[in-house]
């Protein structure tokens, strides 16, 4: 299906619109007799286009409610009324636009009120009358197509933004999340841990004597070593632990549901796994690489952004390096 549409209105209104829509491209169409039944469908299915009978009580309030929610605001709200219906009354609330002496607001005033309330489009046409020239049908058809173009444009922008965001948060060398991603993720993980009264720990990991590798073998070898290290981290962590490349040869790992004693055990295991097997750079070069690790666990007094938690892990990493490297310092 090219698009999804929700029709909200009386039986006569919905039947007239269904006939019109059948002449257009195929759509996924849902119907609702009133706004009370429409709202759950909107929340659950998020249709591309919402076509509402203007005389439905609260029609503009529904548009306003949709536009106030970020996850729904892109839905195209088309408010339509059938002026040929014997029960037609211009019920759009124009109290702010009509003088006290006016009995019935004009079409322009009703149009302005609808757009001010959040409707993307507003039309009054004689749906129940014959349309030999196809004028009002063409008008409705054009408005629906314009709305769908707007929705498609929005979706393309979202896909582009999602792609750019993913690129911005990814380290291109190791294909791990980068420092920016870490600085966004850590406060969120801390908040979640505190809400559920859970545990969270950090590990800061640094490749020992990495400058020597670059100076001796060149930066391409150094890059290859970092890629191998990233792969070992991914393969030897639990699925709910998250590694990040913090910068240069430094990595940081967020470990959920992990206390002080457990993070020390995990860090020591990683340290041993990394040092035990040489890093295969190419067919002729294998390197013996070790890492130093500092580990820390979230405490009640730590700030919500995780600055103090990260600082403790970093201090312990420096201590591990000063004590001879290829070791872990934890709480």
In eight-state DSSP terms, residue 314 is: H
CA distances from 283 to 201, 286, 287 (A): 38, 8, 12
Q: What angle do CA 60, 146, 80 make, to 5 degrees?
A: 35
What are the residue numbers of the active site?
Answer: 249
CA distances from 203 to 38, 177, 194, 293, 308 (A): 49, 15, 19, 7, 13
Q: How far apart are CA 169 and CA 173, in angstroms?
A: 12
Q: Collect all residues with Cβ–Cβ distance below 8 Å to 204 and sequence separation of at least 6.
A: 246, 250, 251, 252, 293, 294, 295, 310, 313, 314, 316, 317
CA Rg, the chain, in Å?
A: 31
């Amino acid at each position: 299906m090219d698009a999804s549409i929700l029709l909200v209105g009386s039986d006569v209104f919905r039947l007239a619109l269904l006939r019109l829509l059948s002449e257009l491209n195929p759509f996924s169409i849902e119907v609702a007799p009133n706004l009370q039944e429409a709202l759950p469908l909107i929340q659950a299915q998020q249709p591309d286009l919402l076509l509402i009978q203007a005389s439905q009580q609260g029609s503009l309030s529904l548009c306003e409610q949709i536009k106030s929610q970020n996850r729904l605001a892109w839905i195209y709200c088309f408010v339509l009324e059938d002026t040929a219906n014997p029960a037609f009354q211009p019920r759009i609330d124009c109290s702010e636009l009509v003088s006290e002496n006016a009995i019935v607001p004009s079409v322009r005033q009703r149009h302005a009120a609808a757009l001010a309330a959040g409707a993307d489009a507003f039309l009054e046409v004689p749906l129940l009358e014959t349309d030999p020239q196809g004028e009002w049908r063409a008008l409705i058809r054009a408005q629906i197509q314009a709305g769908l173009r707007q929705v498609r444009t929005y979706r393309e922008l979202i896909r582009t933004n999602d792609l750019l965001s993913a690129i911005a948060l990814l380290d291109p060398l190791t294909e791990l999340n980068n420092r920016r991603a870490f600085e966004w993720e850590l406060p969120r993980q801390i908040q979640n841990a505190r809400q559920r009264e859970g545990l969270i720990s950090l590990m800061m990991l640094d490749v020992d004597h990495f400058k020597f590798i670059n100076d001796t073998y060149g930066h391409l070898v150094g890059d290859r070593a970092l890629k191998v290290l990233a792969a070992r981290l991914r393969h030897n962590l639990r699925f709910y632990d998250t590694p990040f490349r913090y910068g240069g040869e430094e990595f940081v790992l967020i470990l959920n549901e992990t206390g002080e004693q457990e993070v020390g055990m995990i860090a020591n295991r990683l340290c041993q796994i990394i040092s035990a097997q040489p890093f295969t750079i190419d067919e002729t070069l294998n390197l013996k690489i070790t890492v130093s690790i500092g580990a820390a666990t979230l405490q009640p007094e730590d700030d919500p952004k995780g600055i103090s938690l990260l600082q403790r892990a970093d201090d312990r990493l420096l201590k591990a390096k000063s004590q001879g490297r290829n070791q872990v310092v934890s709480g």
